[in-house]
Amino acid sequence: MKDFYEANKKMWDEFAKVHFESDDYNVKEFLAGETTLKPYELQELGIVKEKTLLHLQCHFGLETLSWAREGAIVTGVDFSPQAIKIARQLTEMTKLEAKFIESNIYDLPKNLSEKFDIVYTSIGVLCWLQDLKKWGEIVSYFLKPGGIFYIAEIHPFAMVFDEEHETELQLRYDYFHNDTPMEFEVEGTYAVKEAKIKQNKSYEWIYSFSDVINSLINAGLKIEFLNEYPFTVYKGFPFAEKESDGYWRLQNQKATLPLLFTLKARK
């Protein structure tokens, strides 16, 4: 597994630099005071003022710092040293209070002892993890009794379809988990397709919805709600279109399907 993670870390180091400078991540707007948090996140997680919040797989910290603007006492974690470097630069630029830690999630208990009111993670995070059972245990480990876990993520069902087919949904990937990751050719990033990336292989794992839910239940968390949405926050398919609310929806398909889910659980 170490080789897979090292390859992915090299790739995310490159992604961090590209995304920091990309229009899709709206860093200039963020520095001018705009939030990167979505309306559903702000509504569903609610008031976070003066609450401690741990952001797992934070990339270069835009959402972490956006929660700081909402009044949370934030700590962001990512395994990419380049992403953490940029996150710390943004902390200085915005003059916000935040702590950022470079760590693989599975090693985090060795690097952080604090317990939190909220553990948060969002969009495109689970596919980089080999062991969801252990992930659930780590989420629980960092929560105070009564603490809240919140995730917004790509819906597992949407992950079975061919993301390259030009006109319609076509089955391509397995739905159920396999310990052996899928290998992909890296051609640009999801935000900047034309970017030149030296690390040309990435490795991802697939999970079913039951894997996600049971990993949290087995770690001692109680599910408070699960919501599914027919939109997502990025162009996951060539025939998706961005609508006036800023979300991407599938066009000219025979049926709607869930593209994103949110879940809240309590310890």
Give the Cα separation of 153 and 172 in Å (integer).
20
Tens digit of each residue's pLDDT, the chain (267 residues):
789 999 999 999 999 999 999 888 899 999 999 999 999 999 999 999 999 999 999 999 999 999 999 999 999 999 999 999 999 999 999 999 999 999 999 999 999 999 999 999 999 999 999 999 999 999 999 999 999 999 999 999 999 999 999 988 999 999 999 999 999 999 888 888 888 999 999 999 999 999 999 999 999 999 999 999 999 998 889 999 999 999 999 988 878 899 999 999 999
pLDDT at 252: 82
**Domain architecture of the chain: domains with CATH:** 2-157+175-230 (3.40.50.150)
CA atoms within 13 A of residue 30's CA, in its CB half-sphere: 28
pLDDT at 188: 85
